Amino acid sequence: MKKRLLIIDDEDSVREIIQISLESVAGWDILTASSGSKGIKIAASEHPDAILLDVMMPEMDGPTTFKQLQATVVTCDIPIIMLTAKAQPSEQKQLRDLGVAGVITKPCLPQELVDDICRILNWNQVIHN
């Protein structure tokens, strides 16, 4: 069965690049949201297999969005991977300590992104060309 992922990122170009990368490299169905609040609504109605969540967003940041998703019965079981431009181990540890499935540093190459998601979520990777 084809995986469905939700990308929550306030930057249009980042969402587009990640969406195109995941669709072309992995063949996954991709949903997108431009804010934490929109992402929460989409996650509740669509229940994706996983969420890629940007850390730094206006209004509601990634950690706040993550906590709200975890606090809701409908979305609390969806694995969430944080996307961050912060590469410091201490900053990444703070994110992992929230209880996220993993942390991926931006920017990343399309194949590396798919590999990282599969590794973090323990998914078998299927290559689509």
The two three-digit tokens of residue 16, written as one number: 């587009």
- Which pLDDT score is estimated for 77? 97
**CATH number of the domain residue 99 falls in:** 3.40.50.2300
Instruction: Report the percentage of the chain scoring pLDDT > 70.
Output: 96
| Total of domains in the chain | 1
Domain region containing 72: 4-121
- The per-residue pLDDT for range 98-126, each reduced to its tens digit, is 999 999 998 888 999 999 999 999 998 65
Per-residue pLDDT, 129 = 45
126 within domain boundaries: no
Three-class secondary structure of residue 104 per DSSP: strand
Element at 107 (helix H, strand E) = none
State the pTM of this model: 0.93
- pLDDT digit string, tens, across residues 34-51: 999 999 999 999 999 999
Task: Please tell me the predicted confidence (pLDDT) of residue 33.
Answer: 98
Q: Is residue 60 a part of any domain in this protein? A: yes
